[in-house]
């Protein structure tokens, strides 16, 4: 049985988790060459144990959604405030099909929710949020557009659980965060396969799921779509790896601003880099963004340390209320509205408005 304290995870287990992140495309037999397991079957068994204990999720395929369609298509980070329960607010947010994830945030005064949406029209989706505010479902909201792609970095299991933050301004080679543009025509089969891959499904399982939907794709067609998306860089294979057992971790979203966006990029790139924590970073409008899964001790004086970085003019930490072995609500983009003729994806916001209006009316009648 694999254990998860700092002392009792052995070096082979650490190397295995590190190798999965570093070489996600390698078959298990070749992966054995990079660590001290002699048999691929042993690695397979260990990986399954890690999955069962919720230390690892994947493989899944991350999407470069700038390449998905010709029309503007982005991801939105939302901060909702409400006097109602999380489940009540979520019941309304779910009526907007482009919801990706939703998580309650620690707050002593009111309900605060972080949520992510894909969107094809910024004015339309913000109008839906304003509608929820006008009807008292939420009391306030703020939206920030992911204007750069996210970079995922899994833990260095030989790194510090409480990494120093004295190198945030150090010069560094920042990877290209820009989205690529649409340059490949995607077929109906490509679009059908994409959400399954983003959830980590195997090709044979995709075939079975699509046949239940009365789709006539062959296995060869699905495999061709998969290879096409890899070749044209629409998707990239990834793992999510917890630094410790999930019940021993904290999760937070960090936003920060500086005077110059290049300096902001440098800080989010250097933030806790090389530590024993999971992190992903990007830019949201003119904010730097870091999502972090860490040992609780790292959060103890985090704001104090950031207060001493004069270059940071504004900062926010959204501490996720609780985590477990189950992933938060997390969906791939709803692609049934993709038009393969025009290579565009437009969400029917008028439909979402009608659904919200209907639910508001039903809920009001129940209260009478």
CA dihedral 194, 195, 198, 203 (to 10 degrees): -60
Closest CA relative to residue 103, chosen from 86, 126, 119: 86
Q: For the residues of 247-268, what is the DSSP string, one character each?
A: GG-EEEEEEEE-SSHHHHHHHH
Q: For the residues of 136-180, what is the DSSP string, one character each?
A: TS-SEEEEEEE-S--EEE---TTS-SS---TTTTS---PPP-PPP
Is residue 3 within a helix (H) or strand (E), and if so which, with residue range?
none
CA distance 188 to 115: 29
Quote the pLDDT of residue 105.
92
Instruction: Please report how many Cα atoms fall inside a 13 Å half-sphere around the Cα of residue 294, on the Cβ side.
Output: 26
Task: Please check the confidence at residue 7 and state whether its pLDDT lies above 50.
Answer: no
Q: Name the maximum alpha-carbon separation found in the chain.
A: 68
Task: Please check the confidence at residue 264 and state whether its pLDDT lies above 90.
Answer: yes
Mean pLDDT of the chain: 89
Residue 362 lies in a domain: no
Instruction: Please report how many Cα atoms fall inside a 13 Å half-sphere around the Cα of residue 289, on the Cβ side.
Output: 23
Quote the pLDDT of residue 15.
83
pLDDT band for 8, please (50, 70, 90 cuts). low
SS3 category, 182: coil
Q: What percent of the chain has pLDDT over 90?
A: 67
Q: What percent of the chain has pLDDT over 70?
A: 95
CA distance 271 to 282: 12
Of 39-48, 256-265, 293-302, 357-366, the least confident? 39-48
Quote the pLDDT of residue 42.
81
CA distance 241 to 155: 7
Beta-sheet pairing, 111-119 with 140-146: unpaired
pTM for the structure as a whole = 0.88
Taking CA atoms, 64 is separated from 146, 194, 202, 333, 346, in Å, by 12, 12, 20, 12, 17
Quote the pLDDT of residue 114.
94
pLDDT digit string, tens, across residues 125-184: 999 999 999 999 999 999 999 988 899 999 998 899 999 999 999 999 988 888 889 999
Residue 28 structural domain = 11-53
Residue 291 near residue 271, CB atoms below 8 Å: no
SS3 category, 102: strand
pLDDT band for 263, please (50, 70, 90 cuts). very high
Residue 250 near residue 244, CB atoms below 8 Å: no
Average pLDDT over residues 198-211: 94
Residue 22 lies in a domain: yes
Residue 40 lies in a domain: yes
Of 2-16, 33-47, 281-295, 341-355, the least confident? 2-16
pLDDT digit string, tens, across residues 47-80: 888 888 888 888 889 999 899 999 999 999 999 9
CA distance 22 to 19: 5
Closest CA relative to residue 169, chosen from 276, 255, 268, 278: 268
pLDDT band for 2, please (50, 70, 90 cuts). very low
Average pLDDT over residues 12-32: 80
pLDDT band for 205, please (50, 70, 90 cuts). very high
Residue 34 lies in a domain: yes
Quote the pLDDT of residue 368.
54
Residue 35 lies in a domain: yes
Residue 260 lies in a domain: no
Residue 220 lies in a domain: no
* Structural domain total, the chain: 1
Q: Count other Cβ atoms within 10 Å, centred on residue 183.
A: 11
Taking CA atoms, 111 is separated from 79, 89, 137, 350, in Å, by 10, 9, 11, 27
Task: Please check the confidence at residue 88 and state whether its pLDDT lies above 70.
Answer: yes
């Amino acid at each position: 049985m694999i254990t998860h304290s700092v002392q009792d995870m052995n070096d082979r287990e650490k190397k295995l988790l590190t190798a999965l992140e570093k070489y996600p495309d390698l078959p298990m037999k070749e992966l054995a060459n990079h660590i001290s397991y002699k048999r691929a079957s042993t690695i397979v068994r260990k990986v399954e144990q890690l999955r069962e204990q919720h230390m690892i999720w994947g493989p899944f395929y991350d999407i470069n959604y700038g390449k998905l369609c010709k029309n503007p298509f982005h991801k939105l980070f939302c901060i909702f405030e409400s006097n109602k329960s999380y489940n009540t607010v979520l019941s309304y947010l779910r009526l907007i099909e482009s919801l990706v994830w939703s998580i309650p945030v620690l707050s002593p005064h009111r309900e605060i929710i972080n949520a992510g949406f894909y969107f094809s029209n910024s004015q339309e989706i913000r109008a839906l949020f304003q509608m929820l505010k006008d009807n008292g479902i939420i009391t306030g909201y703020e939206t920030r557009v992911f204007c750069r792609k996210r970079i995922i970095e899994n833990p260095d299991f030989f790194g510090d659980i409480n990494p120093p933050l004295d190198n945030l301004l150090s010069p560094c080679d920042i990877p290209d965060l820009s989205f690529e543009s649409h340059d490949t025509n995607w077929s109906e089969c490509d679009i059908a396969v994409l959400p399954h891959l983003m959830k980590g499904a195997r090709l044979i399982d995709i075939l079975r799921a699509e046949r239940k939907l009365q789709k006539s794709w062959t296995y060869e067609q699905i495999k061709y779509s998969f290879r096409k998306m890899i070749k044209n860089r629409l998707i990239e294979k990834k793992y999510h790896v917890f630094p410790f057992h999930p019940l021993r971790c904290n999760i937070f979203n960090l936003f920060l601003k500086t005077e110059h966006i290049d300096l902001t990029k440098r800080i989010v790139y250097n933030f806790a880099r090389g530590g024993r924590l999971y992190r992903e970073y990007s830019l949201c409008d003119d904010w730097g963004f870091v999502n972090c899964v860490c040992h609780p001790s790292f959060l103890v004086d985090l704001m104090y340390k950031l207060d001493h970085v004069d270059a940071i003019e504004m900062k926010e930490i959204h501490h996720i209320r609780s985590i477990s072995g189950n992933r938060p609500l997390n969906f791939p983009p709803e692609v049934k509205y993709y038009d393969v003729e025009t290579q565009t994806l437009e969400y029917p916001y008028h439909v979402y408005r009608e659904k919200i209006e209907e639910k508001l009316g039903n809920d009001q009648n129940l209260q009478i």
